[in-house]
Amino acid sequence: MSEPTVVDVSRRAVLGGAAVAVVGGLVGWLMARNSAAANGVGAAAANGYQFQPSQTGKGRRLVALSAVPAGGGVVVQSARVVLTRDAAGSLHAFSAICTHQGCEVTSVRDGTIRCPCHGSRFDAKTGAVVAGPAPAPLPAVAVEVTGGVVYAK
């Protein structure tokens, strides 16, 4: 069995290492504080609903109403909108950006809108949080149906 190795560390090395850690932490904090997520802009922002509807005509075309199944839903990735229909056929629209850490929801199943990143689930009728860690419901999106097509207002 060999004897343990003793490492002699000078006070200067310890202070230098501590200074590097403090400066690194400060730089990281400054970068995070000025990031898109911290400022509520960009795709990475939690609850950063980034859809900008058209200001002309009917609004931005999302999908044909027939593409949204009753009792289910679809995620329109290009618009960052999730559309759902209840069993009675009523249409509901929400931001597809999870309010936890800004991931995009990917599916609608069993009456819930699901986020793949950390398991948050939202009620498909109301957007309310059914299972966390999401802290807030999905924001509603105003839509209208014209000629069998869903438009975001």
Counting the structural domains of the chain, the total is 1
Instruction: Give the tens place of pLDDT for each residue, 95-146.
Output: 999 888 888 898 888 888 998 888 899 999 998 999 878 888 999 999 888 8
Is the confidence at residue 23, as pLDDT, over 60? yes
Q: Is residue 36 part of a domain?
A: no
Instruction: Give 79's contacts (C-beta < 8 A, 6+ positions apart).
Output: 51, 60, 62, 96, 152
Q: Is residue 47 part of a domain?
A: no
Domain span including residue 142: 60-152
Q: Is residue 87 part of a domain?
A: yes
Q: What is the pairing mode between strands 73-76 and 60-64? A: unpaired
Give the pLDDT confidence score for residue 101 in this predicted structure. Answer: 84
Q: Are 89 and 83 a contacting pair, CB within 8 Å?
A: no
Instruction: Give the tens place of pLDDT for each residue, 47-102.
Output: 444 444 444 456 788 888 888 888 889 988 888 899 999 888 889 999 999 888 88
- The number of residues in the chain equals 153
Q: Is residue 83 part of a domain?
A: yes
Tell me how crowded residue 21 is: count the other CB atoms within 10 A of its CB: 10
Mean pLDDT of 15-22: 84
- pTM (2 d.p.): 0.62
Q: Is residue 41 part of a domain?
A: no
- CATH, residue 107: 2.102.10.10
